[in-house]
Amino acid sequence: MRLPYFQYHSPRSLKAAFMLLKKIDGKGLIMAGGTELLNRMKFRLIEPEHIISLSIIKNLGNISIRENQEIEIGTMAKLTDIAHFFEEIKPYKALHEAAYQVASMQIRNMATIGGNIFQDTRCMFYNRSRDWQRVVPPCHKRGGNICHAIKNSKRCLAVYQGDMAPILIALKAKAVFYTPDVFYEMPVEEVFSGNSREPFITGDKKILTSINLAPPERNLFSTYRKYRIRDGVDFPLAGIAVALHKDGDTVANLRLCLTGVAPQPVIVRDVENIANGTKLTEKIIKEIAEMAYNAAHPVANLEDTPDNRRFMVRQIAYDLLMEAIHVSR
Ligand SMILES: Cc1cc2nc3c(=O)[nH]c(=O)nc-3n(C[C@H](O)[C@H](O)[C@H](O)COP(=O)(O)OP(=O)(O)OC[C@H]3O[C@@H](n4cnc5c(N)ncnc54)[C@H](O)[C@@H]3O)c2cc1C
């Protein structure tokens, strides 16, 4: 498949990238590793006139531990490097697991954390060839007013399937953005709009520079698992991230976040009300797994049925939390 025509820019500084983005005013996009963006262009889902690559801007791919032990992951850090870096940092083991489960080794060697977070929502009636687009009426995401998945839906139901955002959200990571005057940060969860057509509140005109994590705490256990048809390459049909802070044998804080089941990562609300301050028993874990099941609202727009995907959310949440009990003992 050929790419459409576009102008390629490779600025040397963040300021130059920002100014270019402003100048082209909505007619171009930032490119990191290109593994998602160029695919969308080949499928003619988007045809930006300009591409602004961040690839030669210095230091954006670093992963570093600051003096205060906070960890900074540069937006251009490759998923392969993230998987290696966090393998030995046990409280953040889930970042190793999530990065390692993205796509294939070749893609992880190119793909970045920034691009992973800002990937578009997907749907099997949208991520299709040009031939398909020619014969099928445009859906909400292609500027039409119908949904091929749920016939009378008034809105787009394309799904966010990123693997990294749910664990970053469970870990309360911060996203740092650049403007010429100031770097400003916001919790990763606030980056998402919940609107499948325009999934990010930051739009196309913001440049993520890094993800910041609190210093790793010894009482933190984190894990991520995804359900997919094939073990290699596939996007999550459902994914569950867990961040569990313990205080001895009891739960100090528990956060669960899902992916692949809605237009944005879904935090399972209120689990802390039943988990915090208790010892995790199988009974409580079953209750939490049920809450995860109820928080997931998949529709028939990915490869597996919504029922199966919801079932897998409950099952994986149960499995991960049962494993967490044993790790904590
Ligand atoms: C076969 C295949 C399988 C895949 N499987 C998975 C999977 O299992 N799980 C998964 O999560 N993903 C998967 N992907 C999607 C994609 O490869 C990854 O999400 C990857 O991490 C994207 O990173 P990138 O650097 O290549 O992003 P790019 O393609 O460069 O960019 C993606 C988007 O992010 C925006 N962007 C990039 N950097 C910034 C920044 N600093 N600031 C603002 N916006 C930015 C771009 O404008 C673009 O819209 C798969 C892709 C393919 C082709």
DSSP per-residue letters across 239-272: EEEEEEEEETTEEEEEEEEEESSSSS-EE-TTHH
The tens digit of pLDDT for each residue in 163-214 reads 999 999 999 999 999 988 888 999 999 999 999 999 999 877 789 999 999 9
Helix residue ranges, H only, the chain: 14-24, 37-42, 79-85, 93-100, 105-110, 113-117, 130-135, 164-170, 271-275, 282-295, 306-328
Fold match between domain 1-56 and domain 67-117+159-328: no
- Does the C-beta of 233 come closer than 6 Å to ligand 1? yes
What is each CA distance from 245 to 63, 86, 115, 124, 251, in whole angstroms? 24, 18, 29, 37, 6
Q: Ligand 1 test: best mutation among 8, 95, 107, 188, most atoms within 8 Å of CB?
A: 107
Report how far ligand 1's centroid is from the alpha carbon of 303 (Å).
20
DSSP SS3 for 191: helix
- Nearest CA to 225 out of 129, 115, 138, 100 is that of 100
Report how far ligand 1's centroid is from the alpha carbon of 151 (Å).
29
Contact by Cβ (8 Å): 267, 256: yes
Q: How far apart are CA 273 and CA 269, in angstroms?
A: 9
Two tokens, residue 180 = 């010429």
Per-residue pLDDT at 328: 53
Tens-digit pLDDT string for the chain (329 aa): 899 999 999 999 999 999 999 999 889 999 999 999 999 999 999 999 999 999 999 999 999 999 999 999 999 999 999 999 999 999 999 999 999 999 999 999 999 999 999 999 999 999 998 888 889 999 999 999 999 999 999 999 999 999 999 999 999 999 999 988 888 999 999 999 999 999 999 877 789 999 999 999 999 999 999 999 988 889 999 999 999 999 988 999 999 999 999 999 999 999 999 999 999 999 999 999 999 999 999 999 999 999 999 999 999 999 999 998 877 54
Report how far ligand 1's centroid is from the alpha carbon of 310 (Å).
25
Beta bridge partners of 226: 239
Counted residue by residue, the chain has a size of 329
Contact by Cβ (8 Å): 232, 104: yes
Domain covering 67-117+159-328: architecture:
2-Layer Sandwich (3.30)
Q: So where are the chain's domains?
A: 1-56, 67-117+159-328
Domain 1-56 class? Answer: alpha beta
Report how far ligand 1's centroid is from the alpha carbon of 282 (Å).
37
Q: pTM here? A: 0.97
Beta bridge partners of 245: 220, 253
The tens digit of pLDDT for each residue in 15-42 reads 999 999 999 988 999 999 999 999 999 9
Contact by Cβ (8 Å): 149, 300: yes
Closest-lying ligand 1 atom to the alpha carbon of residue 36: 29
How many angstroms separate the most distant Cα atoms in the chain? 61
Residue nearest to atom 27 of ligand 1 (CA): 115
Residue nearest to atom 16 of ligand 1 (CA): 36
- Does the C-beta of 102 come closer than 6 Å to ligand 1? yes
Two tokens, residue 191 = 């980056």
- Does the C-beta of 298 come closer than 6 Å to ligand 1? no
